Amino acid sequence: MPEPIRKAILAHAENSLPDECCGLIATEEGAVRFAYPLTNANPSPATFTVDPLEHFGAMRHAESQGWEISGVFHSHPDGEATPSPTDVAMAWDPDWIHLIVGRGELGAFRIRGGEIEPVGLWWVSKGPHELAQPPE
């Protein structure tokens, strides 16, 4: 994941306080290409609902770039960067990546059949061949 995208997700979480932020992730060949910071249609510090019109707009933009919407991100303003029971219950696509911001950290997961699977993140900081593991 490019460092500017990680920073944009964290900024969207900060700007959405005290409510959860939300957005979609576009990928190409397994690499994150873009994050769409979207409106939480039902602002709440405990849940999120992606605005349907913005969801459609993000899908159209991603497709025009040759990308695929393959994940969602949201924040837990007062919680950890791990899926909550609500996140697990609401996960509908087992192949989607769920990026969760909690206390300034970013975690990545797949949720399949009620089971949470951590996904490793690699940060691209300077160029396509200079990779570093996420900070601990």
* CA separation for the pair 95, 102 (Å, rounded): 22
- Whether the per-residue pLDDT at 117 is higher than 50: the answer is yes
- 53-99 pLDDT tens trace: 999 999 999 999 999 999 999 999 999 999 999 999 999 899 999 99
Model confidence, pTM: 0.87
Domain layout of the chain by residue ranges = 3-132
- Segment 3-11 mean pLDDT: 93
Omega before 2 within 30 of 0, i.e. cis: no
- Whether the per-residue pLDDT at 27 is higher than 80: the answer is yes
Q: Which band of pLDDT confidence, cut at 50, 70 and 90, is reported for residue 47?
A: very high
- Whether the per-residue pLDDT at 39 is higher than 60: the answer is yes
Q: What is the pLDDT of residue 131?
A: 40
Burial 41-60 (b: 16+ CB within 10 A, else e): eeeeeebbbbeeebbeebbe
Superfamily for the 3-132 domain: Cytidine Deaminase, domain 2 (3.40.140.10)
| Percent of residues, the chain, with pLDDT higher than 90 | 79
Q: What is the pLDDT of residue 71?
A: 95
Q: Which band of pLDDT confidence, cut at 50, 70 and 90, is reported for residue 31?
A: confident
Q: What is the pLDDT of residue 129?
A: 39
Longest dimension (CA), the chain: 40
